[in-house]
Amino acid sequence: MKKPLIAPSLMCMDLTRLEEQIRFFDDKVGYYHVDIMDGHFVRNLTLSPFFVEQVKKIATAPMDCHLMVTNPEQYVGPLAKAGAAMISFHAETANGQAFRLIDNIRQHGMQVGLVLNPETRLDEVALYLNRMDKVTIMTVDPGFAGQPFIPEMLEKVKQFKQFREEHNLKFQIEIDGSCNKKTYKFLLDAGADVLIVGTSGLFNNDSDINKAWAIMQDDINLALMEVEYA
């Protein structure tokens, strides 16, 4: 089984050690996951285009900006200018503008990702999945770190994998929420290509980022073996 790409959730990192941790991650990650929240779509405020601009001064790995905002179209230009490589918008904010929003993101030279809340079904977004580089399935409710995993989402991951195969599509399947040693096996077996790791999967493993990363890798390798020989 192919090893998954890793996307550290930067809202979970120790921001007092930002440069140290970004330099450590930079040749190891598939993406940096940057959560941008507006206090309206979700009841929290986190990172921003300014944060992306500052990280871009250090990072070379691509930044994927997860827009948990009511008006995603307002962020496209600022994030492109800041250096984002991908914008992932929520399906729940795109009704009536999804195709226009996708075109706008691509016209700004970025890749396009789609994020689905746990309640949002595949058939609600099927008409534009062929335009996606990545689909992120939320396995917790959006807005806050450290929430419990929703096991019903494993079937949803399988549905997206099957749809991708049946329609010969290329989007990656990414998981956002409670990716850790308790869930790696099930997520990889269901079809996950990219794992967003935050507090429980990476940063709380150890205060030393080298050790924390090594523990995470061991946990993922064990999960891969369990899936392979199940």
DSSP 22-59: HHHHTTT-S-EEEEEEBSSSSS-B---HHHHHHHHTT-
- How is residue 169 written in tokens? 């599509």
Of the candidates 83, 89, 47, 85, the residue with the CA atom closest to the CA atom of residue 67: 89
Which segments are annotated as binding site?
A: 33, 35, 66, 143-146, 176-178, 198-200
Catalytic residue of the set 35, 38, 189, 193:
35
DSSP 152-219: THHHHHHHHHHHHHHTT---EEEEES--STTTHHHHHHHT-SEEEE-IIIIITT-SSHHHHHHHHHHH
Which segments are annotated as binding site for a divalent metal cation?
A: 33, 35, 66, 176
Which segments are annotated as binding site for substrate?
A: 66, 143-146, 176-178, 198-200
Q: Which residues pair with 174 in a beta bridge?
A: 136, 194
CA distance 51 to 64: 13
φ, ψ dihedrals at 229, nearest 5°? -105, 10
Q: Is 27 considered catalytic here? A: no
Catalytic residue of the set 38, 64, 133, 176:
176
Pairing label, strands 172-176, 194-197: parallel
Q: Is 176 considered catalytic here? A: yes
In terms of phi and psi (left: phi > 0; alpha: psi -120 to 50; beta: otherwise), the region of 146 is: left
| Residues tagged active-site | 35, 176
